[in-house]
Amino acid sequence: MSEEELGEFHGISTDIHSFSCLNTSICWQQSRLNWHHDGDTNSKKFHSVLAARRRFNSLSSILVNGAVVDGVQPVHQTVFTHFKNHFLDPRMVQPSVGHLKFRKRSFIERGGLTKSFSMDEIKASMWDCDSFKSSSPDGINLRFIKNFWHEMKDDIVQFVT
């Protein structure tokens, strides 16, 4: 390259670098605006709002039969005892299904309740699910399984059955 071309090359490289820095700065500022707008900043106001909400939602004392109960453990025990006694109360009406009449299943229908799932049933249930749901934090979602169904179908059917 000639001296002139080399100078032009360095000038363009410098311009690209400065535009890249400017773009990074603008993106950073926009993200800070979004954080501020959405209330997700790590600011003193944000933490004071959280602390106020925590104080408002806490139970430091309760009134039971005209007596004040203070402290974490006594309040916990009082609430636990209340609900334990409430659900053990014999006067409480328990729901019942004794008055309902159910149709009995035939022998063939009962046999169908314990038969194994077919590959088509398993595939249909997989395809009915949202592709971007993940059952665990490993990051493998149903889209991965759908994309590699031909390679994984035998293992999945074996797992389900």
**pLDDT per position as a tens digit, 50-99:** 888 888 888 788 888 899 998 888 888 998 998 888 888 777 777 788 88
* Amino acid 137: pLDDT: 65
Residue listed under structure tokens 């990074």: 24
Given pLDDT bands bounded at 50, 70 and 90, which one contains residue 151? Answer: very high
Contact predicate 132/89, CB 8 Å? no
The whole-number pLDDT of residue 42 equals: 64
Task: Identify which has the larger pLDDT, 100 or 33.
Answer: 100
User: 94 and 128 in contact (C-beta within 8 Å)?
Assistant: no
pLDDT in tens, 116-148: 889 999 999 988 888 776 666 666 778 888 889
